A and B are shown apart, each in its own frame.
Chain A
């Protein structure tokens, strides 16, 4: 198709409009408190003070979020990967029911989950704990991961698995030394989304971990600012910028996995 001169500038303007809120967040985070309300288009009255506040106040929340994200990834994969192998390559009794349950699970509103989990956690003592939040956050990722991994593992060449079985490898060994390495890409995609969702979670953190103190994730660090009497926009936007770093890093480092994950959930499985 012929290159059209006007398309590049139009595309740049449209993208800039779309990303303007993010620029605005950065702009405010670098502007001195007194000048934020002035609304300059550039951080003319430049400062790093807000980031100093983030370093002082938000580090524990950021650490907690990392632990929760990592825990959610490990738990999600530990449950999803073996099950996906079985669903893709073995005769699992009741597989259709299970597949249906996984799709339906993704449609359950988070409010309903958080209410049910709150009442359960209240009796078993998991409220305001990290394991409790990791378990809750994994519910967002497990159905997605199983569907994605099953779809991928169904595509592994038959010969590869048969060869292992002839050599006398057990199912577990076949899974560990052949299926897992071959499914690397799909595993990375699932892990990436499990981490992002756990990192971004607001509803579970604000209900199941309300009184968790410093053992609360960074989303609650930002939420603290919203409740405050005099909303401090500078530190709040600086925290928001820091909380966006994982998403930005993943987009740069793992862009193809991100795009694969978005479509996998909807069209291909």
Chain B
């Protein structure tokens, strides 16, 4: 211990003596340490993004993609995409999918977080950990399982509602697809909401509740007057992160329905055109890139609000 204190006391004089050359050297060392990251970000983020943008401004098809020579067409492809007969339908579906996912994930996640946080039962910790499982699994695993559970003839969901005399539902048909993929996506998102909101609840001082209950506030009043207001910053961040994630999600939808029918969103539309499957049987790189860019701008817009919200929370 003593050696440590003498050592920490020492630097002031020594630092002054070597300050100039060392600061210069430190600057170079810092640059060397971050250089791999900067080069990596340029090569594997900036370059693909630029490439994506360039592809949306040139008219590519399968041939020009391989041999080159795609003509520059300006914003023509963006016009094509926006004037596509299904464009506004797809925007609406994306909005419904995102809004429904967020609202239910948040409400269920919050209810569970409060339930587990109040505690008072032995199994709270292990069961809360179990809730993480759906979030950690590969989405293709969850997607295929939901697809089987929603099978119209032999799926467990239809057998279950059949017990109450309901008619079987064609979960994954064109009309119902949006609802079904939203259900699966809500299920996927609950763990994330639960964990974040739970950590938010842990940050609320216990004294507030003690004072409130001494003043005779019911648990219900405490929830509305203390929990919800105190949780506002964390709630905002949870919802914004969920929003960005839900806007761009492809796999859960694609695996269940190939993005067909009402489950077609901007992200699955772009993905489908980039692989030539699902709703678009032909590969359309340029259109896919244009839709991707629109999606990117939307995600960034909400992303900037998120960054602003986070900054505000730190102050």
Contact = CB atoms under 8 A, between A and B. Distances in A.
A75 B263 CA distance: 36
B74 interface: no
B148 A233 contact: yes
A162 B38 CA distance: 27
Tier of interface size on chain B: 35 or more
Interface in B276-315: 285, 288-289, 292-293, 295-296, 299-300, 303, 307
B121 to A, nearest CB: 4
A79 B40 CA distance: 8
A230 interface: no
Tier of interface size on chain A: 35 or more
B288 A248 contact: no
Interface stretch (B82-90, B96-104, B134-142, B171-179): B134-142
Interface string B212-255: 00000000000000000000001001100100100110110011
Contact of A119 (B38, B41, B65, B142): B65
Interface string A104-148: 110111111111111110100000000000011011001000100
A92 to B, nearest CB: 5
A228 interface: no
Contact of A93 (B27, B196, B234): B27
B275 interface: yes
A188 interface: no
Nearest to A217: B138
A12 interface: yes
Contact of A267 (B132, B237, B251): B237
B265 to A, nearest CB: 11
A80 B7 CA distance: 30
Interface of B is mostly: helix
A135 B44 contact: yes
A223 interface: yes
A212 to B, nearest CB: 14
Given A90-B29, A111-B250, A166 B141 contact: no
A119 B34 CA distance: 27
B156 A24 contact: yes
Interface in B117-164: 118-124, 127, 129-142, 144-149, 153-156, 159
A1 interface: yes
A66 interface: no
A104 B302 CA distance: 11
A56 interface: no
Contacts of A248: 133
A191 interface: no
Contacts of B199: 263, 267
A219 B115 CA distance: 35
A138 B48 CA distance: 14
Given A90-B30, A104-B303, A163-B7, 8 more contacts: A11-B123, A105-B45, A107-B248, A116-B48, A119-B285, A202-B138, A225-B144, A248-B133
